[in-house]
Structure 1
Amino acid sequence: MMKVALIDTAHWHVPLYLDVLEQAGVDVVGISDPTGTTGPSLARRFRTRNFSTCDELLGHVRPDFAFVFGRHVDMPATANILLDRDIPFVIEKPCGVKASDVWQLAEKASRKGIFVAVPFTLRVGDTLKIIRLNQASVQLDHASFRFIAGPPSRYQRAGVPWMLDRKLSGGGALINVGVHLIDFFRILSGSHITAVSAFATAHLNGLSIEDFIAVTLQCASGAVGTIECGYTFPNTSDLQREFSFSMRAGDRFVRSVDKGIQIIEHGSTEVTHHFAPVEFEAEFHYTNFIEEVLQAFAAGRPAVADLRDAASTLEIVETAYRSAAQGGQKFGLPA
């Protein structure tokens, strides 16, 4: 039975992991929680010990695998601790607040041959397969993504107020939810992103992080991507966010609709369209991701997304924030 540790569990995504880990039959051998807010209850649930820090946990037990959460600013230090001990792990995005730190982690993990996975969850499940028609790639012309999450107060309620402090989180919606969209555009386009520009607002909530940001990405292939994300959706228990996308790929126009994806195709004689049911909720994608990670690790396969993907995505986030701070100035990215 695989021995698993849960590291720095004061994070709102932890509940997305728990049921699937229980169903996978892993042995949770330790939990660390510097805040003391979530660790005790998780320790009771998994009948294991709770520790104050990752170092303390590793001083008592050696897991086969770890799942890393915590504050964005602390993630590189925690990841380095695990890499130094040759412990494979999953680490929540964005893996840090500086791309340079995440590149250092990526190079270290590669050099040591350690499995590390990052939950860019749009890579798993049916969405990507449907867009690609089960092919290895598509010729993307343009794509637009929109992810408007609930207000910042939800992070206060979740006990993670650090998410609203740019020094600790690295930013707002773009570094939190926008990274999924940037990564998705990267793999769909299959082309290097050469230029980034962005505009952002922060007047609604009066915080150091953005309320809303609009980003434009240009690829070497000529493809253009637009990404909008924010913390402005007035969510309720049954209506939590706006998530949508549309794109043109070859002869097909693909767009999200209620409970699925519509594919509109220009054939040789007529335009056809059909509907494919898809689940867009985060819980579903995280279940798929965790199952894929455990299977890949057991089989010796590479991670579906790794630290190099996280570092590349965070470089784009940093560039977008720099552009927004300069009034939308376009910045190039090195090849």
Structure 2
Amino acid sequence: MPVILGIESSCDETSAAVCVDGVMLSNVIANQTIHEAYGGVVPELASRVHQQNIVPAVQQALSNAKVNKNDIDAVAFTRGPGLLGSLLVGVSFAKAFALAKNLPLIEINHMQAHILAHFIAEDKPSFPFLCLTVSGGHTQIVLVKDYFDMEIIGQTLDDAAGEAMDKTSKILGLPYPGGPLIDKNARLGNPEAYKFPEPQIPGFDFSFSGLKTSILYFIRDNIAADPDFIQKNLADICASVEKRIASILLNKLQKAAMQYNIKDIALAGGVSANTGLRQGLLEMGAKNGWKCFIPKFEYCTDNAAMIAIAGYYKYLKGEFADQHIAPMARMPF
């Protein structure tokens, strides 16, 4: 029964988790509130706070799992992609812990881990399945043939869906982080109130830069006519934007599912916590006869549980890294 310690520090969440024989016993996430004052993640500040949080997070994860550090069989860590300074903290801690305890290291690709988060739960997708992976920095449709045999069949050509939501929240004057606030306000609004364009991109690829510009001009023009336009219509604006982003994502996913004739469909990444997107997937799945898989909220955003479960499957394959490994801000899928 391998005991895997997972470490995640790719952006602004410091997280540690313990997995025993594929069963998740703990998942501790330390969020960073310092970035709220700046309206976004400040990389230098993020790396400093990681240094403060990582030891307490690991100690809490071990305590919650009722596991002693001497029981750990391997240390899995996020190598990339992510903010280099943030990654460096997690990688350095993992290497030091492994060296001190003479344990093997397991490097994990952050985006692959988001997909493998589906294997934390008892109800798991069957291979091959399609996974729509949506975060602040990535938007991908991935054909998952095995645990580490994955092919990106569609991705954003410019901005990610999460970035489009964050940009919209800034335009609307909402505080950081804006994604959850877009979601909260959208629940109170009419998604049919305003129409935003859907980019016509061939194949399974995405583009969100044009949508962002459209939203910016829409808000600018309406504020010129009525300075209180946002305050009067915030819920409807959020609901309409959320619906358009979800439709862009789901229409491409449906197209891919039909072409590949796949019925097991998964959703992953931070934006998969969005209520409108989750509900949209379930409704589309019901119409198409899909079996849909959506992780629990705690496994959608960046977390170490997904790193630990990915590490578990790599441990079974005997795929280990050495002490010379370095973090990668951009890491090949």
Q: TM-score range by the shorter chain?
A: 0.3 to 0.5
**Normalised by the size of structure 1, how large is the TM-score?**
0.37
Structure having the larger proportion of residues in helix: 2
**Normalised by the size of structure 2, how large is the TM-score?**
0.38
Higher relative contact order (CA 8 A, sep 6+): 2
Structure having the larger proportion of residues in strand: 1
